[in-house]
Chain A
Amino acid sequence: MGATASQLDTGKLSEYEELTFLTKQEILLAYKRFDKLVPKEEKNRIDYRVRMEDILELPELKFNPFKERICKVFSTSDKKDGSLDFDDFLDFLSAFSESATLEIKSHYAFHIFDFEDDGTLGRQDLKQLVNCLTGKADKTSLTADEMKQLINNILAESDIDKDGTVNLSEFQHVISRSPDFVSSFKIVL
């Protein structure tokens, strides 16, 4: 990590261009923004991991109800603390870029919505998801009856094999027929 954006040499730049859906300008901008989060002492370390708390301060994520989940999903840290290094940061931006495929987006969306990390979206996951979307995370905005009716409807629409949970294939199937997904699952720096 250097003080100026030109420290990201062209070799690495073209490698990142090949491995992500971002353009050169987007990668350089991401580098600039990431560099601001790195404290001065650590600027010479190549794979410094920015803490989750600092990532959550980014204006693009600050008011996003899924910000903690995003950090946890894209983090490759062994400590599972949600810290991101520059590679993870680029992965995150690539998945949310305009040119990412529907498959990539739905894959990561599934894991972001999977609050319990058990590989499926069960009733509890869906309940937490609805709470994130409609109210403060700890306070439920819908009544218990409404929530039950809503989750029953969601499962009726998306659970194909009727096992009470939505797995990745079912999720991707539902998303492929959802017209709003591509336009809303997008973050641009």
Chain B
Amino acid sequence: MDSVFNIDIREHIPNNPLLYQPPSYDSLLYRRKSSTIGSKRRSSSRGRFGSLNSVKSGGSTIKRQDDIEKSLLEERPVRELAKSMKEKRAVRDQRSLKAQDLSDWGQWRQNTRRCLKRLKDNAEDRLSSLKLWRSDIRQIEARFGTGILSYFSFLRFLVVLNLVIFLLMFCFIMLPIIIIPYTSANITQNDQDHGSVCSVYPSSTRLGLVIFHEHITDLLSGGGFLEQTYLFYGFYKVDKIQYPNGTYNLALAYLLATIAYLLVSLIWIVKRSATGFKQNLVKDEDSFQCFCNKIFAGWDFCITNEKVADLKRSSLLYELRTDLEEERIKQEKAKRTRKDKCQIYSLRLVLNVFVMVVLAACFYSIYLATTFSQEQQRKQVKVNFIMDLIHEYLPSIVITLANFLTPLLFSVIINFEDYSPAFEIRFTLIRCVFMRLTSIGVLLFSLWSQITNCGEEPCLCGYNTALYSCWETRVGQEMYKLTVFDFIIIVAVTILVEFPRKLIVTYWKSGLSDWWGEQEFAIPQNVLEIVYGQTICWIGAFYCPVLPAICTIKYFLIFYVKKLSLIQNCRPSTRPFRASSSNFFFLGVLLIGLSLACVPVTVSVAQINSSRACGPFVNYNTSWEALTASVMELPHGAQTFLYALSSEAFAVSFFVVSCLAMFYVIALAGAHKRVISQLKDQLVMGGRDKHFLILKLLQAQRLSQAQPRASGSKSRSRGSPSYHTSFNSDFPEGLLLVHPVPNSSTQV
């Protein structure tokens, strides 16, 4: 009998369905039966390929197994069963027969449930057909795959987000003012400083004969005839509106609308990124499933174009080769000597310092450009039309140039830093993101320094009245200019760079066209472009309430421009961008933009004195005071509550509680990870146990068959356990296995 225990584990085991189920499968079935919710993972026991998995019955135990399975399957709709249409019809007819046995109440319940489900499906279908650009996006998906699709659906999301923000601002700020003539309402403006130098706001509309190109300058720079319109903050010089029914505090509404749109954007983005974040977190925690993901989910089944299919193949090949190489590099890196490590680290340090120096140089040039531009505008030096425009747009031009040159520089530098290929891409992207978003911050900082700097003496009105009688409008104009310039650049690059490139590469075969190559749709750069535009929109919406509407139109047009460029000029990128991680990347960068946008808005609302000559906050020192003033008008209880909320005690305890919650969740995640690894070991053990037991049974079976018939029949009549035949035509002798009786504990 010793031979039974010395089993070579590699001995070939015939295919048997029991082997493929994780241990305690029966207990799992029982657990599922008691809970009414069927888990959606293991219906494979009745798969379509019946040759191996079908259970050819033979015993009472098997019938019981079938009953259990049937009652489980009844919980789920027919279409979720992985069977052929004929089998599904059979199941459905069986169920309806059973349903007829039910009482009237049961039948009525089932019918209503079915009707409601059908209604819900129809409604969802209608809603999804209303989605903007559905057919366009589907076209793009078929030709270019899911990576580029994610860019366009991101663009669609931004269009809708901007529209919602604009509706918010419109309903709460513009609409009350617009309907004033139609209702008998009075505007109250407390002109306490009337006559003081702070409240002088010279009109900027041009008088006399206006040359045509000056209108264009005004349109492009937001000055002149556009300055004192609904477009900018300065127009809303209304504190409260007295309607017949009550008073509408416009100043407070303006402030609250700003906070509201920032919150709405935050919540929407977080909600959208929640699933992507979870998956990314899981992926990073566990050993990378990158290979399985690429092999099993690598092929885009929506591809209908031969060239795209070839490209997909080559990009998959490239990805796999890169990953394999990365693995080899990792193994080599582990063998690095200390001397090598020191060399690499010092080189990296030098290069990082160099990068920071370059960034500082860029920021300083932006600062210089802004101050120069503001000076020129102030002096009202009119050289000629073009020079005026250049002076107006100087900060935008410098920012765009810097954003164009620095990615090229970064991609050159990263080659020397000797990182793994995947990390290289990510790190370059992080640097580009930082560059783009911080340049806006630098622009605003330089504007702020101009506004609050009055020379040697402290400012009379809290800001430099001589230069900026309405500084918020000026900031709004800068944001407006940035938006317009951004849009012009995107369209111009498409028309003036990409189309000629396509023409040259197609029609003029030369060394230049070979080196330059066809345009690739570089997703990261395009995403950074639109995130940059959205950040400007968030900052500018406070100073220019119509800016979200302008951005909506801008992104709407950009969709069509980019789509045209994609179809006409581009070939899909050879460096593939995974659809799943791209969603997370886009929304992550957008969140960084949002948090960056909150800083200038908060500083200007809370710190800088609001203009005395324009805007809704004429009667307050800072814009935030509008809120505190209205809080003081609330009943006493609400006041104390709100003061308690903003006190330090509350803030500290809230911070401590959220830290505790975070630590708890992290500890929980660590515990789960340990449990998962334990369970994995258990599964491996379980698999080995099964092999061992089945081999043992095989041997015992062979021994019993070798013995004479008489003893064989005796053994057969002895037992009550039932048998079932494994259905494998390849195997010469039928393998008789004891099917575990459910009541006995055969948990491996």
Contacts and interface: CB of A to CB of B under 8 A. Distances in A.
Interface of B: 15, 19-22, 40-44, 47-49, 52-53, 78-80, 82, 84-86, 88-89, 92, 118, 121, 125, 138, 146, 276, 279-280, 282-283, 286-289, 291-293, 295-306, 308-309, 313, 316-317, 320-321, 324, 327, 578-581, 680, 683-684, 686-688, 691
13 contacts: A88-B85, A94-B79, A107-B82, A150-B295, A150-B324, A160-B680, A171-B296, A178-B292, A179-B276, A180-B580, A183-B146, A183-B580, A186-B302
B313 A135 contact: yes
Q: Which 5 interchain pairs have the tightest Cβ spacing?
A: A161-B687, A179-B580, A87-B85, A181-B297, A63-B309
B46 to A, nearest CB: 11
Interface in A130-175: 130, 133-135, 141-142, 146, 149-150, 153-154, 157-158, 160-163, 167-169, 171-175
Contact of B82 (A104, A176, A185): A104
Contact of A175 (B49, B296, B688): B296
A169 B21 contact: yes
Given A18-B78, A20-B79, A160-B684, A119 B22 contact: no
Contacts of A129: 295
Contacts of B21: 169
Contacts of B292: 154, 157-158, 174, 178
A157 B287 contact: yes
Given A109-B296, A175-B297, A185-B301, A163 B80 contact: no
- The B interface is mostly helix, strand or loop, or mixed, namely helix
Nearest to A102: B40
Contacts, number: 206
Interface residues of A, number: 74
A139 B53 CA distance: 34
Contacts of B22: 160-161, 169
Contacts of A174: 289, 292, 296
A65 B301 CA distance: 9
Most B Cβ at <10 Å: residue of A76, A117, A176, A184: A184
A39 interface: no
A57 interface: no
- The A interface is mostly helix, strand or loop, or mixed, namely helix
A60 interface: yes
A179 B150 CA distance: 14
A101 B39 CA distance: 12
Nearest to B53: A119
B300 A184 contact: yes
Most B Cβ at <10 Å: residue of A23, A177, A179: A179
A178 B300 CA distance: 14
A68 B146 CA distance: 24
A180 B53 contact: no
Nearest to A163: B687
Nearest to B43: A103
A167 to B, nearest CB: 4
B88 A19 contact: yes
A180 B317 contact: no
Interface string A26-69: 00000000000000000000000000000000011011111000
Contact of B683 (A94, A160, A168): A160
B295 A130 contact: yes
Contacts of B146: 180, 183-184
Contacts of A21: 79
A158 B84 CA distance: 28
A117 B300 CA distance: 23
Given A18-B92, A142-B317, A149-B327, A180 B304 contact: no
A71 interface: no
A179 B327 contact: no
B20 A153 contact: no
B175 to A, nearest CB: 39
Contacts of B82: 103-104, 107-108
Contacts of A64: 299, 301, 303, 309
Contacts of B324: 146, 149-150, 153
Given A169-B44, A184-B300, 4 more contacts: A90-B85, A109-B296, A119-B52, A149-B327
B440 to A, nearest CB: 32
Contact of B304 (A63, A104, A162, A171): A63
Given A120-B20, A160-B683, A103 B40 contact: yes
Contacts of B301: 64, 96, 184-187
Most B Cβ at <10 Å: residue of A118, A142, A150, A187: A150
B134 to A, nearest CB: 11
B49 A111 contact: yes
A157 B294 CA distance: 12
A51 to B, nearest CB: 19
